[in-house]
Structure 1
Amino acid sequence: MQIIKGAGEWAQPEASDWVEHLKVPDLSIGTYCIPVGGVDKQSPHTEDEIYVVTTGRARIVTPTGEEQVGPGAVIFVPAGEEHRFVDITENLTLLVVFGPAYGSRAGR
Structure 2
Amino acid sequence: MVRLAAMQIIEGAGRWTPPPAGTANDWVEHLKTPDLSVGTYCIPAGGIDDQSPHTEDEVYVVTAGRARIVTPDGEAAVGPGAVIFVPAGEEHRFVDVTEDLSLLVFFGPAYGSRGGAATA
Correspondence 1:5 to 2:11:
yes
CA distance in 1, matches of 2:47, 2:107: 23
Alignment of 1:65-76 (within 5 A): 65-76=74-85
* Unmatched segments (≥5 aa) in structure 1: none
CA RMSD of aligned residues (A): 0.8
CA distance in 1, matches of 2:115, 2:70: 23
CA distance in 1, matches of 2:87, 2:42: 20
Alignment of 1:1-108 (within 5 A): 1-13=7-19, 14=21, 15-107=24-116
Deviation at 1:12, TM superposition (A): 1.6
Q: Write 1 or 2 for the structure with the bigger share of strand.
A: 1
CA distance in 2, matches of 1:11, 1:33: 6
CA distance in 1, matches of 2:77, 2:38: 23
Q: Render the CA deviation track for 1:8-63: whole Å, top value 9, x for unaligned.
A: 00012253010000000000000000000000000000000000000000000000
Q: TM-score, normalised by structure 2?
A: 0.87
| Structure 1 residue ranges (4+ consecutive) displaced by more than 3 angstroms after TM superposition | none
Q: TM-score, normalised by structure 1?
A: 0.97
Deviates more, 1:7-16 or 1:27-36: 7-16
Give the residue type in structure 2 aligned to 1:100. Answer: P
Identity of aligned residues (%): 80
